[in-house]
């Protein structure tokens, strides 16, 4: 795997890239405090980099990509930047069409990309996706409001919500929380995040929603994967999406919260691999 900085329009994009297959997969990360593309996709990069050209960029305002100063306010304004950033990235890399995988916030970004430039994408995976209407959960409200109490204890709570089985992360919880807190407390990261999700936060859930009429016009094969015990983005959001996306199928995984690609990585890789090969 390699990391590189790529000029995308007015911004710089930090990109993790694995493999050099003919087909490309663009992986879009979620919005946890201190999140980066690598923290979301480290296992998927290794898995799919053996067959594909796997691309995992930090969205603008996250990680090592550009942090605008002053930043836009509210997720709707940021969404315009992210869509343009990712289309520019494909252009710079001379990729005409790519598969898409979007996690949580990244699922909503993927849907907005499909509305903006449907001809640039082939098969699509949405994992615990935003983009459907739902009342904001207490967990998501606290995640987006992390900087109200930006402590290691708060970060540990956030990490616990991502996993169904606390035993899965028990021996690494302190290490993961410290690493994510260090990333989250960088001044430019905090500035961007606080500008994305200012209170009240239900409006940001609403601003990510893709209208039903737009969903019905997305012809792409779509696999939606969701954890049954996801308390951050409840699985009912995926039921809404699968009802309105004309070529969608749903993979609902029990004993799983919001971290399918990490807590259940083998099952995730197996199902996504079969889907991308057109087997399901």
Q: How far apart are CA 260 and CA 71, in angstroms?
A: 31
- pLDDT of 166: 83
- pLDDT of 169: 85
| Tens digits of residue pLDDT in 168-177 | 888 889 999 9
- State the residue range of the domain holding 14: 2-276
Q: Is residue 149 flagged as an active site residue? A: no
Point out which residues pair with 248 in neighbouring strands: 222
Could you tell me the pTM of the whole model? 0.98
- pLDDT of 268: 98
Q: Is residue 104 flagged as an active site residue? A: yes
Point out which residues pair with 26 in neighbouring strands: 55, 100
Tell me which of 14, 67, 258, 264 is the catalytic residue.
258
Q: Above pLDDT 70, what percent of the chain?
A: 100
Tell me which of 31, 39, 65, 104 is the catalytic residue.
104
Low-confidence ranges of the chain (pLDDT < 70): none
Q: How far apart are CA 30 and CA 10, in angstroms?
A: 22
> Please, which residues have CB within 8 angstroms of residue 235's CB and are 6 or more apart in sequence?
226, 227, 228, 252
Q: How far apart are CA 118 and CA 99, in angstroms?
A: 11
How far CA 198 is from CA of 39, 66, 76, 96, in Å, comes to 24, 20, 12, 36
Q: Above pLDDT 90, what percent of the chain?
A: 98
Q: Is residue 230 flagged as an active site residue? A: yes
- pLDDT of 277: 97
Point out which residues pair with 251 in neighbouring strands: 225
- Looking up residue 119, the CATH number of its domain turns out to be 3.40.50.1820
- pLDDT of 25: 99
Point out which residues pair with 99 in neighbouring strands: 25
Q: Are 55 and 25 in contact (CB under 8 A)?
A: yes
Tell me which of 230, 238, 257, 264 is the catalytic residue.
230
| Tens digits of residue pLDDT in 107-148 | 999 999 999 999 999 999 999 999 999 999 999 999 999 999
Per the structure, the count of domains in the chain is 1
Helices (H), the chain: 37-48, 75-92, 105-116, 138-144, 152-162, 166-169, 173-184, 187-196, 202-208, 212-215, 236-244, 260-263, 265-276
């Amino acid at each position: 795997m390699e990391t590189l900085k790529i000029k995308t329009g007015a911004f710089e994009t930090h990109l993790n890239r694995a493999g050099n297959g003919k087909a490309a997969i663009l992986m879009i990360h979620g919005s946890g405090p201190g999140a980066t593309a690598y923290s979301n996709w480290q296992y998927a990069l290794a898995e799919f980099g053996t067959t594909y050209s796997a691309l995992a960029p930090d969205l603008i305002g996250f990680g090592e990509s550009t942090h605008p100063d002053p930043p836009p306010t509210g997720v709707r304004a940021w969404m315009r930047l992210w869509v343009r950033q990712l289309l520019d990235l494909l252009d710079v890399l001379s990729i005409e069409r790519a598969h898409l995988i979007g996690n949580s916030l990244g699922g909503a970004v993927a849907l907005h990309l499909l509305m903006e430039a449907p001809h640039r994408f082939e098969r699509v995976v949405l994992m615990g996706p935003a983009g459907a209407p739902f009342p904001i959960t207490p967990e998501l409200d606290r995640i987006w409001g992390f900087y109200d109490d930006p402590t290691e204890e708060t970060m540990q709570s956030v990490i616990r919500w991502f996993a169904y089985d606390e035993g899965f992360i028990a021996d690494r919880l302190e290490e993961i929380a410290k690493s994510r807190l260090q990333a989250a407390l960088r001044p430019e990261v905090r500035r961007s995040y606080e500008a994305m999700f200012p209170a009240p936060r239900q409006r940001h859930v609403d601003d990510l929603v893709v209208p039903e009429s737009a969903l019905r016009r997305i012809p792409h094969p779509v696999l939606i994967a969701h954890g049954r015990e996801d308390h951050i983005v409840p699985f009912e959001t995926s039921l809404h999406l699968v009802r309105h996306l004309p070529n969608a199928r749903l993979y609902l995984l029990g004993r799983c919260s919001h971290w399918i690609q990490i807590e259940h990585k083998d099952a995730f890789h197996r199902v996504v691999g079969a889907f991308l090969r057109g087997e399901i």
